[in-house]
Structure 1
Amino acid sequence: MQVEMKNIHKAFGKNKVLTGVDFDLLPGEVHALMGENGAGKSTLMNLLTGLHSLDEGTILINGQERYFSSPNEAETGGVAFIHQELNVWPDMTVLENLFIGRERKNAFGLLKAREMKALAKEQFEKLSVTIPLEQEAGACSVGQQQMIEIAKALMTNAEVIIMDEPTAALTEREISTLFDVIHALRKRGVSIVYISHRMEEIFTICDRITVMRDGKTVDTKRIVDTNFNEVVKKMVGRELEDRFPARQPDLGEAVLEVKNLTRKGVFENISFSVRAGEIVGVSGLMGARRTEIMRAIFGLDRTDGGELLINGQKTVIHSPDQAVKRGIGFITEDRKDEGLVLDFSIRENIALPSVKSFALKGLIDRKNEQEFVDMLIKRLTIKTESAETSAKNLSGGNQQKVVLAKWIGIGPKVLILDEPTRGVDVGAKREIYTLMNELTDRGVAIVMVSSELPEILGMSDRILVVHEGKLSGELMKEEATQEKIMTLATGGQ
């Protein structure tokens, strides 16, 4: 299928999101669509699939003008969209999620359960997925949910598949499997729009790249005719001299100490410390229980043994409220369901953990609250017309900045960052890294969980590696390499 989008314009109220975008997709190609958060990438694809109607411009499919009125119509017409924000129904089984709206029925309207299971198993085998079909989707990890969404799209026999940050929650093995599937699809003539902020993936899997900036098309090139620095410059309009800002940590005493923390069947005997001004990176494969350890420290999940010390004093944390009172902030990996109240405004989300500090005799001092929120919006360069904008209307990267702002606002002693730059563009990543350096310069202790090895190596002063719920090793920055980390992550010595 060949797709051409010419001179595309789209505004939401007074906010002009797209102002003359050109994009084309050839049969059987993997076409990267890149740009900073808020550049308009997802909006452009939402116009193609009929989620929004365009204000001006032309869409041609196989040379004929065609406009889908809804995503369902687009899917029927051969265009499937795997969204960055997962559309999994948590209380339904994996099988029900795979066939929702596309159930196989017999002449009497009864489900062909055996046929559906066989088709699902066949697709899962192609993706090397081993999730039980009868399991509730809400019990699956974020990475597993992503694979469910990918399988669902592949089962539509689409001619065009739009993948928005498809590998953000996947392990290296799952990414390799996905790339094998993409190669097979390309051979069958399926076209893929690949939206990602992971530059290494773009240069590995894609044939061409289109860069967008501020709602406009900047350039389209063959991958072999460009390079990392050129793409970054076109995305952000400036050179990014280094991906990771230099760190010169001035380490103080241990702020957080974890001793023999255990949750039976999940993790055991976890012991580590993080000092004032230090960034401790936590690496490991998906499913290694890194997130579960952080949730337990923050009081979200119970533990069966071990102890925590804050500034040398033994402390007990059974709830997030207790963690916040002791100066611990936690930026969760799942910003949509756990990090934000999407229907709340930016102001309400940022002020939420600090609301008591604005209370005077039971009433909120709105002036002080607004000054506090405006300061954080400016400091984190959150792109919005107003602090009253609903969080759900922001791009993924700006949503992540709101989550950062709300926890920075409590003035934490310890900040736990679980996948802090997932789904964030290269320019915004640099801003987050710079902010992390500023926080550690002020004595904040940071624990950073990340699946991106370059990020772990680029920002950590010390690296802990988790394998199957146990700490398999610790590496200092000077000795750490991707090979050493992966060896420890897979159970080697």
Structure 2
Amino acid sequence: MVSALQVDTVSSGNRVPQSGQSEYVLEVVNARKEFPGVVALDDVSLRIRPGTVHALMGENGAGKSTLMKIIAGIYQPDGGEIRLRGEPVTLETPLAAQEAGIAMIHQELLLMNQMTVAENIWIRREPLNKFGLVDHAEMHRMTAELFDRLNIHLDPEAEISELSVANRQMVEIAKAVSFNSDVLIMDEPTSAITEKEVAHLFEIIRDLRAKGIGIVYITHKMNELFEIADEFSVFRDGHYIGTHLSSEVTRDDIIRMMVGREITQMFPKEEVELGDVVMSVKNLTLEGVFHDISFDLRQGEILGFAGLVGSGRSNVAEALFGVTPATSGTIEIEGKPVEIKTSHDAIKLGMAFLTEDRKETGCFLPLDIQENAQVAVIHDDFVSNGFVNESKLVDACIEMCKKLRVKTPNMHECIENLSGGNQQKVLIARWLLTNPKILILDEPTRGIDVGAKAEIHSLITQLAHNGVAVIMISSEMPEVLGMSDRIVVMHEGHATGILDRSEADQVKIMDLAAQ
């Protein structure tokens, strides 16, 4: 369907409205941004109408977040122009952008963990009493009023560190709304919240849209685009590809625009003859968190873990890898009982663990790609006479990052400068370099674009084909169903069932997950 449309259907070609007569609340015209060794944005334009939700689509590294950071005053463009309500503006700082009427919810949460919910929302805007001191009672009242308007049920005095990731996301959303901005940017706002909370967020978005706010919505989830977006724009490799009404395209149209190619198989699961039991878990328990978890994992098997947020899936993974050791139960590796008290124990046993939160527990953000990729490698392939073969290690890291198509000018680029999806690829490279026998993947494609998802799914399938035993935790039902040989379903710390691939479907999983 896309081929039959004009490239800029929604924004009427390249017409630029006259100053003061703009039908757009926000325009970016011919923006350019370069970083050392890479052009992140090349002559990119975007136009946002008031009272609409405009989705921004593209693979990781396409330039979406870079453009949003320019609009939010975090980066300065090397060329082009930004217009608000038809007037050219210069947004030199995030504060300048906020004062101009632009608020942004970042993909990586930026809250202060040791401060309260209310303090985070009103930071630098705290109400003061007659003595010039922060009026905490008034700040509490303002927060409660904001939460009541948004139907958010959180304690304003709760410390951020006490909240779940999902509730922290709701605080970020409330903070952005509190600015009463004309433009609200949401970068992957549903990546860490439940389906129920997504429905709640969409109610908030529809209310804001009805009030005339222009919303820029970055997402990798196609179903969200069709449910909440009025129109969308696609970027690819730092270039603007096109803008269309959501009602005029199909999912396949959008994928072709994003990746420039057909993706014929999203879940390339192969039937692999399973080998011997490589891990046997019996009655694994972490008091107060999960109880009596038992399963066997075979060579070449992809064992999915499904369940609602808070079911204990990630806690089981952390216990298996020694992050938070279990209080009782047994683990056998290749038939031998083992004690896993630390992650070092797990790595020595041939295990690897991609954690759920790449920012908090995955990436070493101040370090470069090479340092992040090599940090877990301790096996003999790279050690001779007690010394690390640095040249061999560097070559292996480069080769693995090439295999995973990490987009970077070089291996010395700080990992913090990469897109979320490319950070995820570096973390996967880190663990594949250890040649694991057992690979635990917690939300391996969270925040990953559709093209990279297909690549990672293909990689997981290949690893299983080569005999690696995989535990894959995912909140995305199609991923669990499409990739798993068997599925362990959890509810409130208990395994409520194990389903074979041949019998599993969404209804059965949800029945077990909601028991």
**Which residue in the other structure is 1:328 paired with?**
351
Are the aligned partners of 1:48 and 1:67 in contact in 2 as well (CA < 8 Å)?
no
Are the aligned partners of 1:31 and 1:209 in contact in 2 as well (CA < 8 Å)?
yes
* Equivalent of 1:44 in 52, 67, 85: 67
Q: TM-score, normalised by structure 2?
A: 0.93
Q: What does the per-residue CA deviation read over 1:140-162, in whole Å, with 9 as the maximum and x for residues that have no partner?
A: 22222211211111111122110
Q: What does the per-residue CA deviation read over 1:278-300, in whole Å, with 9 as the maximum and x for residues that have no partner?
A: 11111111111211111111111
* Equivalent of 2:110 in 77, 84, 87: 87
**Cα drift, residue 315 of structure 1:** 0.7
Range moving further from structure 2, 456-465 or 163-172: 456-465
Structure 1 segment 342-491 matched on structure 2, within 5 A: 342-355=365-378, 357=380, 358-491=382-515
Structure 1 segment 86-485 matched on structure 2, within 5 A: 86-355=109-378, 357=380, 358-485=382-509
**Which residue in the other structure is 2:86 paired with?**
63
**Cα drift, residue 482 of structure 1:** 1.6
Range moving further from structure 2, 286-295 or 436-445: 286-295
User: Percent identical across equivalent pairs?
Assistant: 44
2 CA distance for matches of 1:276 and 1:206? 43
Q: What does the per-residue CA deviation read over 1:50-96, in whole Å, with 9 as the maximum and x for residues that have no partner?
A: 11111111111111111211111211221111011110222222232
Which amino acid is 2:131 matched to? F
Are the aligned partners of 2:299 and 2:469 in contact in 1 as well (CA < 8 Å)?
yes
**Cα drift, residue 458 of structure 1:** 1.2
1 CA distance for matches of 2:136 and 2:372? 43
Are the aligned partners of 2:266 and 2:457 in contact in 1 as well (CA < 8 Å)?
no
Aligned residue for 1:329, secondary structure, equals: strand
**Cα drift, residue 118 of structure 1:** 2.3
107 and 362 in structure 1: CA distance in 2 versus 1, 3 angstrom threshold: farther
Which amino acid is 1:475 matched to? L
Aligned residue for 2:497, secondary structure, equals: strand
**Cα drift, residue 365 of structure 1:** 1.5
2 CA distance for matches of 1:211 and 1:97? 33
Which amino acid is 1:57 matched to? G
**Cα drift, residue 266 of structure 1:** 0.9
1 CA distance for matches of 2:252 and 2:93? 38
**Cα drift, residue 121 of structure 1:** 2.6
**Cα drift, residue 43 of structure 1:** 0.7
Are the aligned partners of 1:126 and 1:181 in contact in 2 as well (CA < 8 Å)?
no
**Cα drift, residue 355 of structure 1:** 4.1
1 CA distance for matches of 2:379 and 2:334? 24
2 CA distance for matches of 1:140 and 1:433? 31
Are the aligned partners of 1:31 and 1:208 in contact in 2 as well (CA < 8 Å)?
yes
Q: What does the per-residue CA deviation read over 1:418-477, in whole Å, with 9 as the maximum and x for residues that have no partner?
A: 110111100000010000011101111111111111111111111111111111222222
Which amino acid is 1:56 matched to? G
Are the aligned partners of 2:284 and 2:294 in contact in 1 as well (CA < 8 Å)?
yes
Structure 1 unmatched ranges of 5 or more: none
**Cα drift, residue 132 of structure 1:** 3.5
Q: What does the per-residue CA deviation read over 1:193-228, in whole Å, with 9 as the maximum and x for residues that have no partner?
A: 000001111111100010000111101000011110
- How many residue pairs get matched? 491
Are the aligned partners of 1:335 and 1:400 in contact in 2 as well (CA < 8 Å)?
yes
**Cα drift, residue 356 of structure 1:** 5.3
Which amino acid is 1:139 matched to? E
Aligned residue for 1:353, secondary structure, equals: coil
Q: What does the per-residue CA deviation read over 1:306-334, in whole Å, with 9 as the maximum and x for residues that have no partner?
A: 11111121111000000000111110011
Which amino acid is 1:134 matched to? E
Aligned residue for 1:308, secondary structure, equals: strand
384 and 368 in structure 1: CA distance in 2 versus 1, 3 angstrom threshold: same
1 CA distance for matches of 2:493 and 2:160? 22
**Cα drift, residue 126 of structure 1:** 4.7
Structure 2 unmatched ranges of 5 or more: 1-23
**Cα drift, residue 257 of structure 1:** 1.5
1 CA distance for matches of 2:112 and 2:374? 30
**Which residue in the other structure is 1:75 paired with?**
98
Are the aligned partners of 2:255 and 2:262 in contact in 1 as well (CA < 8 Å)?
yes
**Cα drift, residue 171 of structure 1:** 0.4
Q: What does the per-residue CA deviation read over 1:356-379, in whole Å, with 9 as the maximum and x for residues that have no partner?
A: 542334432111111111110111
1 CA distance for matches of 2:114 and 2:212? 36
488 and 255 in structure 1: CA distance in 2 versus 1, 3 angstrom threshold: same
Which amino acid is 1:352 matched to? V
Q: TM-score, normalised by structure 1?
A: 0.97
Which amino acid is 1:291 matched to? S
356 and 456 in structure 1: CA distance in 2 versus 1, 3 angstrom threshold: closer
Root-mean-square deviation (CA, aligned residues, Å) is: 1.4
**Cα drift, residue 120 of structure 1:** 2.1
119 and 284 in structure 1: CA distance in 2 versus 1, 3 angstrom threshold: farther
2 CA distance for matches of 1:182 and 1:341? 34
2 CA distance for matches of 1:418 and 1:462? 16
